[in-house]
Structure 1
Amino acid sequence: MKNRLENSRLGKRIWQHKLFYLFMLPGIIWFFLFSYVPLYGIQVAFRDYTFIGGFTGSPWAGFKYFEQFFNYYQSGDIIRNTVIISLMKLLIGFPMPIILALLLNEVRKIRFKKTIQTLSYLPYFVSWIVVVTLMQRLLTPYGGPVNDVVSMLGADPIQFLNNPTWFYQMIVGSDIWKNIGWNSIIFMAAIAGIDQQLYEAAKMDGAGRFRQMWHITLPGIRNVAIILFILAVGNLMSAGYEQLLLLNGPATASIGSVLDVHAINSGIREGRLSYAAAVGLFQSIIGLILILTVNRIARKVSDVSLF
């Protein structure tokens, strides 16, 4: 009886807000088609997949390809490189959009603010191929403008790219430059939703801009930051395929080989689809475990969580 009553109330609420659910329908369909239907292909990781046999006709292989990956002599290095690069992007790159949003919020000249916003958003829409080509032109020691300035200062030209000494700086720096503006949009929206009366009250109490930022703005975007951090932790086993494929070279292979590139190369270049699917499934499982763990910790510490 109780379940029937709850179901009837739920149905009434859904019907009452039917227009909102109708607007949600395209998004639900999209996620179902592109996020849930492809889960059927997970079985490729457990089969000796062939195009003739397909998903169900290929012979069952069990954990054969997982064992191949973990027995691969470079698997430990690949996992370590992936975690190191992802951690650096997370710890250094995640706060940057927050800092940019806080700084833009303090700008009072609208034209200057919009100009900075536009310039910071644009790199997000540029492909990594163009970004890496631009980096090669700017940073080359053979006539690049950056090294021209270095030479004018009396120092020797620096080989920034394909150099293990500068590899992490190039990876993290280019990732921040490309994504900082786009990622700051969410924090700017969160700041815009803060009640302006709080700032007025703080001014009356004699609080300056920094104290307003510390005691009002940051607490106001805390929940959004926690949720985005939880989602970012879920990508810890994904260091970024296209960026690492283009910036990594023979000289940096020992610190630049990551799971994303290894899986794509194994599947597309070598045709080992089952092996590549096993590596990708391993990444997804670890990502799921990380999200669940961090989500539980966040719920206990701050009462903010995804679910």
Structure 2
Amino acid sequence: MYNLLMTAGEDDWDSPTWSLSTGRYLEHTVQILRNRFEILSPDTLQQLKQMPALFAYEDFRDQPATVGRITEIQQLQHELRITLAIDPAVTPIPQAVLRTLYQDLDINTRNLEHCRTHWAVKDIDLVGVLVRANLINLPLLPPQPRPPKVFISYSWDSPEHRQWVALLAGTLRSNGIDATLDQWHVRGGEDLAGFMERSIREADRVLVICTEAYVERAIGRQGGVGYEHTMVTGELMRNVGTAKFIPVVRQTSRPATLPTELNTRLYFDLSPGAEYPTQLQALIRDLHNVQTPIPPLGPNPFQ
């Protein structure tokens, strides 16, 4: 079996996450498989993530499809949000080539399945179809690592600062980091406190954007910043050695100031200046857990 995810969004599969209306899950899926996968229990979620996935575009887009895995599935009130990883060993499949495989892949053109954004589960050996079409020469597609998931905590200092945070989050996403930001992920009517708690809990790392205003509000436990920082403090107290929370400084005054709970932590300084590109690259490396190479240990010159 395989997952077929089809979208009309331009360049959707260049992003590490994708959202789909809950009602379009299991469209164009035979009834026996609908019965099997319609309830998204932990076991079902695990089965879906173990299957290979074909990430395709609706026919009019004329963009290549890619192959990989679903690495995470988040159930929201009215939609499903997935995290995906593309398999670098599989060359993107041009739309013209994919069209010739629709029948073999059980993509029903009579019902205009190739023209509909949806998520289907197909009882087809995706790897076998691709091997017979000379698109891959692997007997199995290995699991793909999940992109690092990052939540950004910040204060709404000004419209300019909100835009700066959004640009930072966009830069992280373009570098393979699944950044969560309230500006993108909070829907009208959604409970903000619940969003903060869930995002901090589910994130691998939390970036704490430390402007002067953020530090002041965190120390004074003011507003949303104060509430978020109370959660941060609670987790730090439960796990003193955690490296989950990363201070990111954006300040004009010097020396830089941090909330009391974070002032002994290594921070990245993204304040305007010549060091910004270097510090940003170091942050991205850290989020991907790419260690700085350590020179080899040489022999004792006195022996």
> Fold conserved (TM > 0.5)?
no
Q: Which of the two has greater helix per residue?
A: 1
Structure possessing the higher radius of gyration over alpha carbons: 1
Q: Which has the higher contact order (CA 8 A, sep 6+)?
A: 1
Q: Which of the two has greater strand per residue?
A: 2
TM-score (norm 2): 0.25
